[in-house]
Amino acid sequence: MGSSPTPPTSFYKIMDLEILRHSCSHVMAQAVKELYPEAKLGIGPAIEAGFYYDFDLPVQLVPEDLTKIEAKMKEIIKADQKFERIEVSKEEAVRLMQERNENYKLQLIQSLTDERVSFYKNGSFLDFCRGPHLGSTGEIKDFKLLSVAGAYWRGIETNPVLQRIYGVAFASKKELDEHLKNLDEIKKRDHRKIGKELDLFSIHEEAGAGFVYYHPRGAVIKNIIEDFLRRENSKRGYELVSIPHIAKIDLYDTSGHTSYYRENMYFMKIDQQDYVIKPMNCPGHILIYKRKLNSYRDLPIRFFELGTVYRYEKSGVLHGLLRVRGFTQDDAHIFCRPDQLKEEIISVLEFIDYTMKKFEFNYEVNLSTRPEKFTGQAEDWDRAEKVLKEALEEKNIPFAVDPGAGVFYGPKIDVKLKDALGRLWQGPTVQVDFNLPQRFDLSYIDEDSSKQRPVMIHRAILGSIERFLGALIENYAGKFPLWLSPVQISILNVTKESKDYALKIEEVLKTKGLRVEADTKDETLQKKIREKELLKVPYMAIVGKIEQESGKISLRARGMKNLGTMEIEQLVEKLKQEEGLT
């Protein structure tokens, strides 16, 4: 076994967080091996803001074990062990891992085509790794282990489940403390936690993982969002359509989905024929376009649907509303002439900008180009990428190019929503498609009576309603603005004598189109107020003997803010103005 000198890579000079975090993952693996000698090593990469390492352990780790592992890591760091790169033949590497009974590392090495293999050694610890690493363990200063989770080996469900330990590491204690504070805020904003507290939605294992059940309050918010989309699409010349949830497999053979997307599709048999539970709405919208002969004067034709689709996702990646198996898209398809393409894309970009401002999201934009596996002609892809780029530049929208990230039928603009904590969420998309019009032999009659091929734009303003709602919950931390709140105001009576007055106000506000509920339970006012604060209701109208006699209400805003007494008409005017309806 020969060794090569480790380059003088001082952490304080290069400040490379990826190298720091990867080095920290090795120290964690070393600590686990010293505490649990029977542990077998999986992989341990650096990830955004941190690192993880997968272990096959004879015991099930609990959160308290992380403190013990951290203490052992600090001992290794204090020892200031040098990271040494060692290069051996593949044959020698196999022998080393066999000797150490590292079955998972052995699989990785055997899958390599390289003749030489590198390891990194610090102290008595040896790990198969390409590197690079820090100069020594002593250069690791500020880190924290966060959690333990299960993870399939190499992400394959039929493989063993390993225990994955997550951690974070930063260049300074200040950065680490800020990150940990941010993580605490993220936990508080977790849409699954808030969704339960506000009684918005649930997912039931007995009914199937990845399928969302909206409760009354959650359904109100979803309906508000969908009503907004219906109105705004109608204003912009989109026509509402609706298609079935299943179709013959032939339709998706023609579209190419069964070739390029099969592993994410659900199949079923009806009358001895193969059917697909729809993963996409586009083939159905194409059939509606084809129902008649279209003239160049008819174009652009814009079809819009709040269409529920079903896609298979591995159970390990399902996550609340953010990653599900059944979800609704605000899906639209524009059929236009080539000379209309840029104008239509610009119109969609303006629609996206308007909507993001309405929901108080900033955003970032990527231009995703041709992937390695694609359908159609390269020249069509080049044309599509060019027009998307020109539209972004014409609107002065900053963007980054994401090479090879387009879908199989066309390039796209991807919009990432930026929330109150600076996190990015997948959101709107605009895709140019020359391929499906060709696959389905779409046409229109041009001015000279010739048959021409339309261009197709796939676009979603919010994307998945479920994912958008999850991001929205976390962005607002459940404190929805008045126009989105499932209950805008609660009427709370102080005594039994003011119950009828509370119910009368409730009826008046309902006739004004406000979402209101009267809480006339026989409980103390303080308990009612606390309950509404926990439900994050924007306003509470308190009514007792004084308010009843004067025909007024005492208004309290979310966050225990007393706004004084006012007439009911004043209250209606205030709420309507805040809601944006006056």
Told to judge if 329 belongs to the known catalytic residues of this protein, a careful annotator would answer yes
What's the CA gap between 5 and 13, in Å, rounded?
19
Q: Which of 556, 576, 552, 578 is nearest to 566 (CA)?
A: 552
Of 105, 192, 333, 528, which one is the catalytic site residue? 333
Cβ-proximal residues to 461 (8 Å cutoff; 6+ apart), any chain? 229, 232, 330, 332, 348, 351, 352, 355, 428
Helical spans, DSSP H, in 190-261: 191-197, 216-235, 249-255, 257-260
Angle subtended by helix axes 465-476 and 173-189, to nearest 10: 120
Q: Which two tokens stand for residue 372?
A: 């390695």
In sequence order, what are the residues at sequence separation of 6 or more whose Cβ sits closer than 8 angstroms to the Cβ of residue 302?
A: 233, 236, 237, 238, 239, 332, 333, 334, 335
Backbone angles phi, psi at 384, to 5 degrees: -65, -45
In this structure, the chain runs to a length of: 582
The answer to whether the beta carbons of residues 27 and 137 sit under 8 Å apart is yes
Among the listed residues 412, 467, 515, 532, the single catalytic one is 412
Residue 354 near residue 403 (C-beta atoms within 8 A): no
Q: Integer distance in angstroms from the first to the last C-alpha of the chain?
A: 79
311 is catalytic: yes
| Residue tagged active-site, from 121, 217, 370, 458 | 458
Is 458 known to be catalytic? yes
| Angstrom distance (rounded) from CA 300 to CA 394 | 21
Residue 269: exposed, middle, or buried by beta-carbon count in 10 A (0-12, 13-18, 19+)? exposed
Which of these is catalytic: 22, 121, 191, 311? 311
**Cα–Cα dist 407/392, whole Å:** 19
User: Which of 54, 331, 380, 419 is labelled catalytic?
Assistant: 331
Question: Which of 30, 81, 163, 329 is labelled catalytic?
Answer: 329
Give me the sheet containing 125-128, strands edge to edge.
Answer: 2-3, 84-89, 116-122, 125-128
Residue 51: CB partners within 8 Å, gap ≥ 6? 21, 22, 24, 25, 28, 44, 45, 166, 167, 168, 169
Cβ proximity of 142 and 170 under 8 Å? yes
Please give the single-letter amino acid code of residue 154: R
Q: Which of 282, 419, 515, 556 is catalytic?
A: 282
Residue linked to tokens 């592993």 = 263
Q: Is 13 among the catalytic positions?
A: no
Q: What angle (nearest 5°) sits at the alpha carbon of residue 274, between those of residues 272 and 275?
A: 125
Amino acid at 165: I
Give the C-alpha separation, 107 to 102, whole Å: 9
Distance CA(213)–CA(326), nearest Å, equals 11
Cα separation, 361 vs 418, whole angstroms: 6
Residue 333 annotated as catalytic: yes
Catalytic residue list contains 336 = no
φ, ψ at 572 (rounded to 5°): -60, -45
CA separation for the pair 554, 570 (Å, rounded): 12
| Catalytic (active site) residue 80 | no
Give catalytic residues, as residue numbers.
Answer: 282, 311, 329, 331, 333, 412, 458
